[in-house]
Chain A
Amino acid sequence: MKLHEFLPVVSQAVGRVGPNDWVVLSTRVRLARNLRSNLFPDRAKKNDRIRVCGIIRREVEALPQMAGGFAESMESLSAFEKQTLVERHLISREHAMRGAGSALVLSKDTSLSVMINEEDHLRMQSLKPGMQLQEAWVAIDEVDTALSKTLDFAFSDEFGYLTACPTNVGTGIRVSAMLHLPGLVLSEQINRVIQAANELGLAVRGLYGEGTEALGNLFQVSNQRTLGQKEEEIIERVGKVVNNIIENEKNARGLLLQNNPKMVYNHIGRAYGILANAHSISSKETMNLLSLFRLGFDLGFFPGVQRSFIDELFMVTQPAHLQARFAGKLSAEERDIRRADMLREAFRNVERPSMPSDPASSLDKT
């Protein structure tokens, strides 16, 4: 089956709901594992990578969780398909650059994704909508336990699961949440929040993980430490910080509306104006404006709109998704024009924002 036939349509992929999804777009738990007595992927020769990939892929595909899923070697996927997977958060940007000797296995609902021969032999993730760290952990823990019965994982009593990079050793766990924080950005409190999270040993990154920009006021919060703590403690810690950030975001929005409602209205009104009327717009500008549109939705200014409509636009205006819609490779300029065309069309039925004349009344909407 081809990837585009397998992947759920965007509206379905973004229509899934979860607790606190007004701030938490998704939560993810990832485990890194390696096979004993085998060189890590970047050190291994191509033939060894292909051999190890075959062994692992067979076991992963045989899991009951993967029934009806999708499995493919990375060399058989086009650059465009790989980019689509990155935009869906199903593979890392690093994995998208891999070819022969690396593979991907996805569960039917795409909530489970196993990357074979990324930086480690196995990178398996569970992705859930909204704030569902515990659920994501349970799902991936089961996959890991099942695989450990057939695969001999590299493990030491002292250091735990051994990984190519010592930053992942021990539990090999990365627990993360994707957060939409326009209130904290507009009120200029975001740096304070990032700093506080850093002090508690958590990393705050942009949309696509390591080394990426925080487009669209989207931030990924994750643990950095993996050794010397139990998985459950790490999950609890990340959960506590995320819940704290949710509270902060709520308060920031409330204060902004109380102290500076015109500034908020102005941002949201202008975002609507450009999204609904532009004839050329970059992916970056689109993300930032859609973020403000999403904030306006949260505050109740767009009563006729569904949240999934906004999240779908976030996805389909990304380069690979846009290209898929217009079948064929587009230049950056052409993409900006097509993106604007698509947005104008989508916004045809979106009513102008209705800001309350009394700003205080929109306070309780979040």
Chain B
Amino acid sequence: MICKQREARVHLTQIDQGKIKKVDLCEQCAKEKGVDDPTGYALADLLLNLGAPTESTRSTSTVTSCKSCGLTATDFKKSGRLGCPDCYAAFKEILSGLLESMHRGTRHIGKRPGAGRPPVVASDQLTLLQQQLAEAIAVENYEEAARIRDRIKSLKSADGRVLSA
């Protein structure tokens, strides 16, 4: 919130350079800032005084588009929605930063169509454990943290290389 006084009623979300930015405003602040139309371009940036999008990011974003559905990077940044399954390959670069910030990893390790499930790769296991360790420390669960630390140790060999599971 900008004024930190009234209840926020205008919520802006924008994806910029792979990061999600959110601004919450009350109606009055929104009017003062001229944000009656939350669909406007790059408003969140302007409000946060992060500066207007630079020319370089604009030019790369208008060039890229998905060959299958015609969605442009600008469309995607505005709506946050992709047009078709092929967009994931077309916008891989933009997506990779975005996915990293919103998820626990950038690689799928869950269910697959058909019954087959992928084997657990040792390095994936390690990443997972490291995340769990950080979380356990964050909530001050030191017992759990110690247990995870030992499991990480046992996954790594003496020289720090990851052993296969």
B78-126 residues with Cβ-Cβ distance < 8 A to A are: 80-85, 88-89, 95, 98-99, 102-115
The reply on A162 being an interface residue by CB < 8 A is yes
- A258-274: contact bitstring with B at CB < 8 Å (1 yes, 0 no)? 00000000000000000
A115-164 residues with Cβ-Cβ distance < 8 A to B are: 119, 141, 144-145, 148-149, 152-164
Residues in B whose Cβ lies below 8 Å from that of A43: 69, 71, 81, 83-84
Residues in B whose Cβ lies below 8 Å from that of A277: none
Asked if B108 and A227 sit within 8 Å, CB to CB, the answer is: yes
Selected contact of B110 from candidates A145, A163, A164, A230, CB within 8 Å: A230
Q: Quote the shortest CB–CB distance from B20 to chain A (angstroms).
A: 9
The reply on B138 being an interface residue by CB < 8 A is yes
Residues in A whose Cβ lies below 8 Å from that of B68: 37, 39
Question: Which one of A10-18, A166-174, A341-349 contacts B?
Answer: A166-174
Q: Quote the shortest CB–CB distance from B88 to chain A (angstroms).
A: 5
Q: In the docked arrangement, what's the CA distance between A255 and B127, Å?
A: 40
The reply on A226 being an interface residue by CB < 8 A is yes
Asked if B104 and A225 sit within 8 Å, CB to CB, the answer is: yes
Residues of A in contact, count (CB < 8 Å): 47
Asked if A171 and B108 sit within 8 Å, CB to CB, the answer is: yes
Residues in B whose Cβ lies below 8 Å from that of A165: 80-82
Asked if A228 and B107 sit within 8 Å, CB to CB, the answer is: yes
The reply on B135 being an interface residue by CB < 8 A is yes
Residues in A whose Cβ lies below 8 Å from that of B128: 229, 233
The reply on A224 being an interface residue by CB < 8 A is yes
Residues in A whose Cβ lies below 8 Å from that of B80: 165-166
The reply on A5 being an interface residue by CB < 8 A is no
Residues in A whose Cβ lies below 8 Å from that of B89: 156
Q: Quote the shortest CB–CB distance from A80 to chain B (angstroms).
A: 28
The reply on A359 being an interface residue by CB < 8 A is no
Q: In the docked arrangement, what's the CA distance between A229 and B106, Å?
A: 10
Asked if B98 and A227 sit within 8 Å, CB to CB, the answer is: no
Q: In the docked arrangement, what's the CA distance between A270 and B109, Å?
A: 52
- B63-75: contact bitstring with A at CB < 8 Å (1 yes, 0 no)? 0000011010000
Asked if A155 and B113 sit within 8 Å, CB to CB, the answer is: yes
Asked if A162 and B88 sit within 8 Å, CB to CB, the answer is: yes
- Closest residue of chain A to B113, judged by CB? A148
Selected contact of B85 from candidates A37, A141, A224, CB within 8 Å: A37
Q: In the docked arrangement, what's the CA distance between A42 and B76, Å?
A: 12
Closest 8 CB pairs of A and B: A228-B105, A160-B108, A154-B85, A227-B103, A43-B83, A228-B104, A171-B110, A148-B113
18 new A-B contacts, CB < 8 A, other than A159-B107, A166-B98, are: A34-B85, A39-B84, A43-B71, A119-B81, A149-B114, A155-B113, A156-B88, A158-B107, A166-B102, A171-B111, A173-B110, A225-B103, A225-B104, A227-B106, A227-B108, A228-B105, A228-B108, A231-B110
Query: What are 11 A-B pairs with beta-carbon distances under 8 A?
Result: A43-B69, A152-B113, A156-B88, A165-B81, A166-B80, A169-B103, A170-B103, A225-B103, A226-B103, A228-B104, A229-B103
Q: Which residues of A contact B (CB under 8 A)?
A: 34, 36-40, 42-43, 119, 141, 144-145, 148-149, 152-167, 169-171, 173, 196, 199-201, 224-231, 233
Q: Which residues of B contact A (CB under 8 A)?
A: 68-69, 71, 80-85, 88-89, 95, 98-99, 102-115, 128, 135, 138-139
